A and B are shown apart, each in its own frame.
Chain A
């Protein structure tokens, strides 16, 4: 006796959902990324105006000055949905664990000269607060943005920044032998040391930005491309004998920047390409925030490396990047 089911009976009636098929131009098999993303956010017939901002619906295209005919044009080149995002990060984190084990087993940070340690505490550890501020901005872009294609990667990015803030915190706990004193000292530097105040002022100014796409530009081309790149990419010389362990312990950040940069570049490029008006707005935003970031980065670069040239190097790279996305600066 067999209970084989004839394959002919199991021909699917349809390949995917209606809204996906309309985007694919016909009923074709769709990827999990597509089914989990396209047109997922509600668009019509909202019931009540938000008590905290009745000028808009809670999902409203008017919360930014840029205009898109379709907010599902700026897709994620990584095709992240929750599962692929988490699995990618879980894998990357295994490398983080291995690197921490390597550094801790050999006591690579503990053996350092106190002056080098002090420099890591005042020059590297405060960056965790910048990650936390970035986490706030990416949460804001997620909650305030329009369309799952852009907003879902924003909450992933918020999670990434929290994760990176915690990796930096762990470096601090290795430095201070799990007592928290280094983290307290780094926070003091973030709040009061002169070289960090421009950075802190810049990120606090982004907190009050209510145009979510402008915020996204400020975050990705200003904070990420100038400030984070300064510290993670252009400051190796500042750490002296600690350069290699720092590079190992911040490998996650280097990989993350390369990967997330592809996404944010694609988003900015696509939205700018939509219209001359968008391009003009985004170009102006990019110019403003890269200039501001360069200014903020100057004292930090000087404190870390002796002069401000690395700030200019990072800002020029950010400008070149912005131009490659079609912006005019």
Chain B
């Protein structure tokens, strides 16, 4: 009997896993030296399921087509000076934070997935990781190309690469990714592939990019949604990874659960920057952070963890704390940048009355009680010519590296202080979530390059604020301080005045 023709799935299997072989001239453990030490047990790599059966020819075709479309939009945006059509120049500050804080993470993801794309023993996940490595390179490069046009007109963008390695608040996203990159390949997959891509990136891209569209930034929404179409492939890889690990061996469950708990919390902390963008930085807000959290974590994450419960996996530890914090973090973060505006590479501003009313409406439980008075006090001080600045450096959390601004779950008037002792030295953390992470791997987090401590040690250009800002390559008076009175504002008003003048 003649052999049967291959179905689509078998054909794809030949195109990928059929390529791989067990090495015999070199031991497999030396060819793959890094995928054993984490304690993960894999009995059968061939049980890996490939949900997207994408061969390279199809990859090139779809990705090439997406890129042609995207760059056509970018070219049109630049030719038509689309930057003059955004809702308000304040909006550009979202892009500053994005390029300095998020885009370098895409680069890290590119190199990280090249690592797992080489060093996981199973060929199925390796091919998926390599495609994701390519995709992540796409994301950082398209983001640079999109925001490059804004850089020609707005301050605070030009030194994004230099700043990412140095500026105090950028150590938050940087350390997040350094953490994943320095972990083993399986933890990296759970950290980035599952916790970040599957559980949390929707919160970054979907409501935020919708915000870009609503604020007239067609170039950013185009790269954002275009990138997100790769993201759905990545999400699928992320969920496949977790299911695969949990199906392979029951001993994997506690290890995976620990990673899920850790990376959910790490991701939640980093996303606080996005919370602030959505609630305060979009001149025309689309959705509050709390609403986005409900849709993309409570609802979507709820379905996901219900599904994973059959493997014994639980909802991440402290998920309920994170949900409770959705009432607070955007306000606490924006207040932090407001008082350190002199040391930030984007502009801050006092929310106007209409915006405060919007926040009161979106946060009926907390805003009027805790945060509105804070803005009103500072507004009063501004009026008296005493714009409020914090002139000392803040205490940082040893793990998430955010200033220790977060409050106790049951008392928003009290900062949540936690600490641990290791070898006679104290390490401060901002929450039970961060403390658990520290206590789990103290040798790792005691290495943190904490910007405030580095400044005091003399490793950031000098002892004074101007020395440090110089080390950051911050263009003082242009990149930093309030939007009101900035060169960005002046330029925007000139464009706008031109429009008004010509219209008359």
Contacts and interface: CB of A to CB of B under 8 A. Distances in A.
Whether A and B touch directly in their complex, counting CB atoms under 8 A apart, is answered as yes
A51 B162 contact: no
Contacts of B153: 10, 12-13
Contacts of A263: none
A120 interface: no
Interface string A311-326: 0000000000000000
Contacts of B24: 204
A143 B146 CA distance: 26
B134 A159 contact: yes
Contacts of A151: 111, 114
B386 interface: no
Interface residues of A, number: 91
A115 B137 CA distance: 46
Interface of B: 2-6, 10-11, 14-15, 18-21, 23-26, 30-31, 33-34, 37, 55-57, 59-61, 63-65, 67-68, 70-71, 81, 84, 104, 107-108, 110-112, 114-115, 117-119, 127, 130-131, 133-134, 137-138, 140-142, 144-145, 148, 151-155, 157-162, 164-166, 171, 174-175, 178-179, 181-185, 444-445, 447-449, 454, 473, 487, 491, 494-495, 498-499, 502-503
B449 A47 contact: yes
Interface in A36-75: 36, 39-53, 58-59
Most B CB contacts (10 A, CB to CB) among A32, A41, A143 go to: A143
Contacts of A41: 107, 111
A88 to B, nearest CB: 8
15 contacts: A1-B503, A5-B498, A19-B161, A42-B174, A44-B166, A45-B171, A83-B142, A89-B60, A91-B64, A155-B110, A155-B137, A169-B18, A180-B6, A183-B18, A208-B31
Interface in A137-196: 139-140, 142-143, 148, 151-152, 154-156, 158-160, 162-163, 165-167, 169, 172-173, 176-181, 183, 187, 190-191
Given A135-B130, A204-B24, 17 more contacts: A4-B502, A5-B81, A10-B495, A17-B151, A17-B161, A43-B165, A48-B448, A51-B37, A51-B182, A82-B63, A83-B141, A86-B67, A132-B20, A159-B130, A190-B21, A204-B23, A205-B25
Contacts, number: 265
Contact of A93 (B57, B110, B178, B447): B57
Given A16-B148, A40-B161, A142-B114, A9 B494 contact: yes
A47 B5 contact: no
B64 A205 contact: no
A78 interface: no
B26 A139 contact: no
A115 B25 CA distance: 31
Interface string A201-244: 10011011000000000000000000000000000000000000
Majority SS at the chain A contact face: helix
A26 interface: no
B165 A42 contact: yes
Nearest to A33: B141
Contacts of A39: 161
A49 B448 CA distance: 10
Nearest to A19: B161
Given A43-B165, A48-B447, A3 B64 contact: no
Given A2-B502, A2-B503, A39-B161, A152 B152 contact: no
Contact of B447 (A32, A49, A91): A49
A312 to B, nearest CB: 24
A86 B60 contact: yes
B15 A166 contact: yes
B140 A40 contact: yes
Contacts of A287: none
Given A86-B60, A139-B118, A179-B6, A207 B141 contact: no
Contacts of B71: 83
A60 to B, nearest CB: 12
B184 A143 contact: no
A286 B153 CA distance: 49
A111 interface: no
Nearest to A167: B57
Interface of A: 1-6, 9-10, 12-19, 21, 32, 35-36, 39-53, 58-59, 81-83, 86-87, 89-91, 93, 96-97, 128-129, 131-132, 135-136, 139-140, 142-143, 148, 151-152, 154-156, 158-160, 162-163, 165-167, 169, 172-173, 176-181, 183, 187, 190-191, 200-201, 204-205, 207-208
Contacts of B81: 5, 10
Contacts of A165: 15, 19
Contact of A9 (B20, B59, B454, B495): B495
A27 B64 CA distance: 31
Contacts of B134: 82, 155-156, 159
A274 B31 CA distance: 31
Contacts of A45: 165-166, 171, 174, 449, 454
A274 B165 CA distance: 27
A126 B502 CA distance: 70
A17 B494 contact: no
A82 B130 contact: no
Nearest to A139: B118
Contacts of B473: 18
A45 B21 CA distance: 40
Most B CB contacts (10 A, CB to CB) among A13, A151, A208 go to: A13
A93 to B, nearest CB: 5
Q: Which 8 A-B pairs have the closest CB atoms?
A: A90-B64, A163-B56, A12-B152, A143-B114, A132-B19, A83-B67, A139-B118, A36-B141
B183 to A, nearest CB: 6
A151 B110 CA distance: 10
Nearest to B111: A143
Contact of B2 (A47, A53, A169, A179): A179
A172 B6 CA distance: 13
A158 B134 CA distance: 10
A81 B141 contact: yes
A208 B19 contact: no
Given A49-B447, A87-B64, A169-B19, A42 B164 contact: yes
Contacts of B502: 2-6
Contacts of A16: 148, 151, 158
B60 to A, nearest CB: 4
Contact of B55 (A42, A49, A166, A205): A166
